């Protein structure tokens, strides 16, 4: 049964109760030209920023479309991977924009996954004190999460997303058919963020995801449309209430404190969504130990990641070192980690009382010691 009643292909994100930008859900790139014309691009230069993987897949096609709606269209590509989400790539983009004569009226287009979107958004926020940008997210994770809500930025030193800005795109254009060819690992990593929405805000959605598991494995187009739209509706609700993460938006960080620490410990050999799954299991474990969840609920939440090809344990870590790495996370208020816990499926809370001992016990819970086998 359909979870979304809205039959439109568009969601509007409001800021201060006024329309700020649209998310459009399409099944190809055909309407991109019209969407851009409406934004007045005919008089603009456009720079598409993408990575080496996405360039091969969609670079030429998008250049062809954007040439028709701009006075000049160029493409900048950088090597794919989280290790390139840094200030030296940003510097390369600034230099390219200067060389190509980009001014404040021009436009950047982020074509790719979360790394491309965050980094391009940051360039847009800072080049000439801010130029417009749009998002064309090409991974499930970027479509359901990172392209919406205006978080932009790069990693700095060993700190994830340490340098950045809240800066809204002018449009998010989603071609849902790109999900068909996404590699399995990236696809299921995106599902970790989708499951997260159900866990923090919507039990019915969570249960629907589980009952739609086989359609999700098959990447059934109708099911995927439902998955992406519903996730975007939940994200819209959260970011409209709290655009700069003063409160409720922090709920979207379920699984991210320990998840980011594992991501760093593993030197990005696991992808973000896999680390979010591990971090969510750890958060659910703490929720059980704090008597917010029952033991049965904890095990159900944990085990539900398995059919979605997401890890629930990891053998390559040293739990004490992962705990240490949680200290460099940004999710602090007055020196205390803002931990996201679960009261039940569909209801998350912010908790500042989680101790190092509780975190360590949770990291040990997901640590699978092969030597003891
Ligand atoms: N990805 C979490 C947020 O946008 O706040």
Which pLDDT tens digit goes with each residue over 127-153? 999 999 999 999 999 999 999 999 999
Q: Does 60 fall in a domain?
A: yes
Q: What is the pLDDT of residue 133?
A: 98
| Ligand 1 pocket: which of 115, 137, 252, 280 to mutate (most atoms within 8 A of CB) | 252
Q: Of 181, 207, 228, which one is at a domain's C-terminal end?
A: 181
Ligand 1: which atom is nearest the Cα of residue 145?
Answer: 1
Question: What tokens appear for 229 in the block?
Answer: 């739209």
Ligand 1 neighbourhood includes 145 CB (under 6 angstroms): yes
Q: What is the pLDDT of residue 330?
A: 66
d(CA 136, CA 117): 8
E-only strand ranges, the chain: 10-15, 18-26, 45-51, 72-78, 107-112, 132-137, 151-156, 159-166, 171-175, 332-333, 336-337, 339-344, 347-351
Q: What is the pLDDT of residue 347?
A: 98
Question: Pick from 157, 181, 205: which residue ends a domain?
Answer: 181
From the CB of 252, is ligand 1 less than 6 Å away? Answer: yes
Q: Does 244 share its domain with 211?
A: yes
Same domain membership, residue 46 and residue 160: yes
The reply to whether ligand 1 has any atom less than 6 angstroms from the CB of 150 is: no
Burial 186-214 (b: 16+ CB within 10 A, else e): bbbbbbbbbbbbbbbbbeebbebbeebee
Cα 68 to middle of ligand 1, angstroms: 33
Could you tell me what percent of the chain has a pLDDT over 90? 90
**Nearest one of 268, 260, 265 to 316, comparing CA atoms:** 265
In a domain, 5, yes or no: no
Strand partners, 132: 107
Same domain, 296 and 167: no
Residue 246 tokens, joined: 């003063």
Of residues 160 and 292, the one with the higher pLDDT is 292
Based on its alpha-carbon atoms, the radius of gyration of the chain, rounded to whole angstroms, reads 20
Residue 21 sits in the same domain as residue 103? yes
Mean pLDDT, the chain, rounded, equals: 94
Q: Closest ligand 1 atom to the C-alpha of 146?
A: 1
Judged by DSSP in three states, 284 sits in helix
- Does any ligand 1 atom lie closer than 6 A to the CB of residue 249? yes
**Which of 151, 197, 255, 331 most suits a substitution to test ligand 1, by most atoms within 8 Å of the C-beta?**
151
Residues 63 and 201 occupy one common structural domain = no
Question: 221 and 348 share a domain?
Answer: yes
Q: CA nearest 326: which of 284, 369, 295, 357?
A: 357
The answer to whether residues 117 and 147 touch, using CB atoms and an 8 Å cutoff, is yes
pLDDT class of 7 with cuts at 50, 70, 90: low
| Residue 262, domain extent | 184-372
Q: Is residue 153 in a domain?
A: yes
How many Cα atoms occupy the beta-carbon half-sphere of 241 within 13 Å? Answer: 11
Q: Does the CB atom of residue 112 touch ligand 1 within 6 A? A: no
What pLDDT, on a 0 to 100 scale, did the predictor assign at position 372? 66
Closest CA to 121 of 165, 89, 61: 165
**Residue 299 maps to a domain:** yes
C-alpha triplet 244, 246, 252: angle, nearest 5°:
75
* In a domain? residue 1: no
Q: Which of 151, 181, 211 is the last residue in one of the domains? A: 181
CATH of the domain at 123: 3.40.50.1970
CA dihedral 158, 161, 164, 168 (to 10 degrees): 170
Distance CA 333, CA 37 (A): 43
Claim to verify: residue 302 and residue 366 sit in the same structural domain: yes
CB-neighbour burial class of residue 33 (10 A; exposed 0-12, middle 13-18, buried 19+): middle
Q: What is the count of structural domains for the chain?
A: 2
């Amino acid at each position: 049964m359909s979870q979304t009643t809205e039959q439109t292909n568009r969601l509007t994100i409001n800021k201060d109760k006024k329309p700020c930008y649209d998310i459009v859900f399409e099944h190809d790139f055909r309407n991109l030209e019209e969407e851009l014309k409406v934004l007045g691009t005919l008089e603009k230069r456009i720079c598409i920023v993408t990575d080496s993987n996405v360039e091969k897949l969609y670079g030429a096609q998008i250049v062809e479309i954007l040439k028709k709606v701009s006075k000049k269209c160029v493409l900048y590509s950088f090597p794919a991977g989280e290790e390139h989400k840094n200030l030296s790539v940003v510097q390369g983009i600034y230099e390219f924009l200067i060389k190509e004569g980009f001014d404040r009226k021009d436009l950047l287009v982020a074509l790719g996954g979360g790394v491309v979107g965050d980094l391009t958004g940051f360039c847009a926020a800072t080049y000439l004190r801010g130029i417009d940008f749009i998002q064309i997210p090409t991974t499930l994770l970027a479509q359901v999460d990172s392209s919406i809500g205006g978080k932009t930025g790069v990693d700095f030193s060993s700190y994830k997303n340490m340098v950045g800005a809240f800066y809204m795109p002018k449009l998010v254009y989603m071609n849902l058919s790109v999900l068909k060819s996404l590699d399995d690992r990236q696809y299921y990593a995106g599902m970790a963020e989708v499951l997260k929405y159900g866990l923090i805000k919507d039990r019915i959605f969570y249960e629907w995801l589980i009952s739609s598991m086989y359609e999700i494995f098959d990447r059934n187009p109708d099911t995927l449309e439902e998955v992406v739209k519903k996730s975007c509706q939940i994200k819209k609700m959260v970011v409209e209430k709290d655009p700069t993460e003063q409160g409720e938006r922090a709920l979207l960080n379920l699984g991210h404190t320990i998840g980011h620490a594992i991501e760093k410990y593993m030197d990005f050999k696991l992808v973000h969504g896999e680390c979010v799954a591990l971090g969510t299991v750890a958060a659910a474990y703490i929720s059980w130990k704090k008597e917010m969840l029952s033991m049965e609920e904890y095990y159900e939440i944990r085990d539900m990641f398995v059919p979605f090809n997401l890890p629930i344990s990891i053998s390559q870590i040293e739990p004490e070192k992962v705990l240490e790495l949680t200290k460099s996370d940004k999710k602090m208020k007055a020196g205390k980690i803002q931990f996201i816990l679960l009261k039940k499926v569909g209801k998350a809370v912010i908790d500042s009382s989680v101790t190092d001992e509780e975190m360590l016990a949770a990291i040990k819970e997901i640590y699978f010691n092969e030597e003891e086998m």
